[in-house]
Amino acid sequence: MTGTRQWLVLCVVLMGTFMAVLDVAIVNVAIPSIHNDLHASFGEVEFIVSAYTITYACLLVTGGRLGDNYGRRLLFILGLLLFAVASAGCGLAPTTNALIVARAIQGVGGAMMYPQVLAIIQITFTGTERAKALGVFGSVIGIAAIAGQLIGGSILALDIWGLEWRPIFLVNVPIALATIVAAILILPKDTDNKPVGLDWGGVALMTPAMLLLVVPLLEGHEEGWPLWLVACFIASFPMFALFIWYERRVARKGGRPLVRLELFANKSFSVGTMIAGLFMGSYAGYLIILAIYLQIGLGFSPLRSGLTYTPSAIGFFITSLIAPRLVPLLGRYVLSIGYVLAGAGLLATATAAFAAGTHLHGFELVPSLFVIGIGMGLGMSPLVGTVIAGLPPSEAGSGAGIVTTTLQVGSTLGIALISLLFFTLLGDGKPGVDYSDAFAMALPVCAALLFFAAYLVRRLPRMPFEASNALIERLPGWSAGFAYSMFLMTGGRLGDSLIQDVASRVAERRLRLAREAPQAPGDFLAYQFHNAGEDIGWLRYLMREALVYGDRPVPLEAGRQPAIDAQIDEVRHRQATGLLDPALDPAQLRLMDFALVNYPRLLPQITRMTTGLSPEDPRFTAGWESLLRTVGKSFEGDAGRKNDGG
């Protein structure tokens, strides 16, 4: 597939992504209009918001399995078609109940469509192009999450054909149909798939368990907590217990459960899913009470409400783009910083709302809402990747599906619980100050959820070769050299954790490059040399270390040994597949790889005096890579020679 065609594929699937995520948020702005037009109670309005996320959350994993079984292109198109039909149903709904049903069907369409997006990106892109595509994917999610407020407010302000809130759903129909046509023309055709069993029993238990939990939380306050709602809420807990028992039973019998519970034995994953749920619960709860506070409590128009939210949207957009670049520097602590910032912004917003009371104009919230957006963007963009980082690559797909489902469940519970708190605090008093007070008292709960999430980030186990501080690699050459020298002069007593971090980062990067490199030995060596320039600071440290210690044991040697062993194991794996000559010693091959890849940069003066060119000169690079490809052919095994036509 050509580069242009790849990016066209990405554009098509991201259109579906944008709509699926947008419809989670866009309804918030229309709450007062729906409330007045359909004479819906606030509990019913909350259920309109949550009906989408409930079915979306319950069926996301199943949607992914259906794509594996029957084709990702087919499920993406069918999901779009169902989404378009349900959007039309939402826009034409004559009653509250009809709108709730249509929203639930919309969620089914989203659950069919959304899981195919990541799968299509995975099979369409490779290497660095895949990383770029996933970065764009993350940015689109962030943009869609914040655009709902602005787009919804603008559509309501225009009052197209006097339809009030209905166009926020009807606008999906032509966009979905256009995306379907583009998908038919552009997306690659599905290959033959071998169907595997679907856990319909898990779906049948998960869905009523969610409904039994969420419906009482949404309707309880409005209905005065009748006995039947209390009974439903209590019944949800044994239903969830039954779901867990059933999933374990399916796994014991060799089936494929809806949720692979054994993944939660991984501490990184189990803690990470808690973080995801807390974050999304806080975010969704904050969005819905902000919309109610601005439009009903203060009487803002939908457009004015959307414009008030704009600083938060701008902050979210900026940091959702920046966050992936900060991860190599700060690791998982990007999430901690984001959650603390967002929590502080929520507390500042609560203070401003409480102080202004009924006289709030909106501009008073600009600084605090901007801080919330900055924090939320940092906390959202790297979240899924951080949570699944501790899983083996073979489990990453299942883990990502569970995390995405957790985000939607967290959103549903956040809407239910924070709204329940808000309306309980509001009571039956007059609008105005009561709304400001209730809003100001509910926001600290959202902040507390984020602070707890930030605490849990610290509880995530450190991954192999993960660095907690990469600043040393960003320092100017003389200061980095001074740090290395102090470490060596003190026998590893000063700055040991810093050097260990640098070694961990280098090891992780080299192992990743080994996995991503081309299979042919010559191309493998050329690829390694092309990317080895990133490690120049570490290579210079190794030169200093060799001068000080010679061949004696060096500081932190035990911690660095596993990385070298893993690289030797990679050589053994290539020998086992026939790509490398099995008669060659794998340790010596690893040593030769290091020498050929790094020698020109280790001794640049020798390179310059020998060839007349700097190691960084494009002419030298091209010539050396060509030589490495030629040399590499002499180490090929039977499989490599067959691929070359020998």
- Evaluate if residue 468 carries a pLDDT over 60: no
User: Whole-number mean pLDDT of the chain?
Assistant: 79
Q: Residue 223 and residue 234: Cα distance in Å, rounded? A: 17
Query: pLDDT tens for residues 524-575?
Result: 888 888 877 767 767 777 777 777 677 878 766 777 787 788 888 888 888 8
Is residue 187 a contact partner of residue 7, using CB atoms and an 8 Å limit? no
Cα 513 vs. chain centroid, distance in angstroms?
22
The pLDDT of residue 481 is: 47
The pLDDT of residue 142 is: 65
Is residue 233 a contact partner of residue 216, using CB atoms and an 8 Å limit? yes
Query: pLDDT tens for residues 53-89?
Result: 778 877 877 787 788 778 888 999 999 999 999 999 9
Burial of 530 (0-12, 13-18, 19+ CB in 10 A): middle
The pLDDT of residue 341 is: 95
The pLDDT of residue 340 is: 95
Name the amino acid, one letter, at 388.
I
Query: pLDDT tens for residues 414-433?
Result: 888 898 888 888 875 545 44
Name the pLDDT band for 494 (thresholds 50, 70, 90).
very low
Q: Residue 509 and residue 489: Cα distance in Å, rounded? A: 27
- What's the half-sphere exposure (Cβ side, CA atoms, 13 Å) at 345? 27
Q: Residue 442 and residue 555: Cα distance in Å, rounded? A: 52
What is the pLDDT averaged over residues 497-518?
67
Tokens describing residue 281:
């619960």
The pLDDT of residue 115 is: 79
What is the pLDDT averaged over residues 491-516?
62
The pLDDT of residue 500 is: 62
Is pLDDT larger for residue 620 or for residue 504? 620
The pLDDT of residue 111 is: 84
Is residue 402 a contact partner of residue 277, using CB atoms and an 8 Å limit? no
The pLDDT of residue 139 is: 67
Tokens describing residue 535:
């490690």
Q: For the chain, give the percent of residues with pLDDT over 70.
A: 82
Q: Residue 288 and residue 29: Cα distance in Å, rounded? A: 8
Name the pLDDT band for 475 (thresholds 50, 70, 90).
very low
Question: What is residue 172's three-state secondary structure?
Answer: helix
- Evaluate if residue 482 carries a pLDDT over 70: no
The pLDDT of residue 572 is: 86
Query: pLDDT tens for residues 362-391?
Result: 788 889 999 999 998 888 877 876 777 666
> Long-range pairs for 236-245 at CB < 8 Å and ≥24 separation?
236/209, 236/210, 236/212, 239/205, 239/208, 239/209, 239/212, 240/209, 240/213, 242/205, 242/209, 243/202, 243/205, 243/206, 243/209
Of all residues in the chain, what percent are helix, strand and coil, respectively (each to 5)? 80, 0, 20
DSSP state, 465?
Answer: T
What is the pLDDT averaged over residues 338-347?
95
Q: Residue 218 and residue 45: Cα distance in Å, rounded? A: 9
The pLDDT of residue 477 is: 45
Query: Which range, 291-300, 334-343, 525-534, 603-612, has the best average confidence (pLDDT)?
Result: 334-343
DSSP state, 294?
Answer: I
The pLDDT of residue 400 is: 66
Q: Which residues contact 245 (CB under 8 A, 6 or more apart)?
A: none
Domains of the chain in start order, with CATH, are 1-190 (1.20.1250.20), 259-463 (1.20.1250.20), 476-643 (1.10.357.10)
Closest CA to 372 of 348, 355, 356: 348
Query: pLDDT tens for residues 595-604?
Result: 888 888 888 8
The pLDDT of residue 465 is: 42
The pLDDT of residue 102 is: 94
What is the pLDDT averaged over residues 256-275?
83
- Evaluate if residue 153 carries a pLDDT over 80: no
The pLDDT of residue 315 is: 87
Q: For residue 576, count other CB atoms closer than 10 A to its CB.
A: 11
Query: pLDDT tens for residues 93-119?
Result: 999 999 999 999 998 998 888 878 877
Query: Which range, 271-280, 308-317, 422-431, 473-482, has the best average confidence (pLDDT)?
Result: 271-280
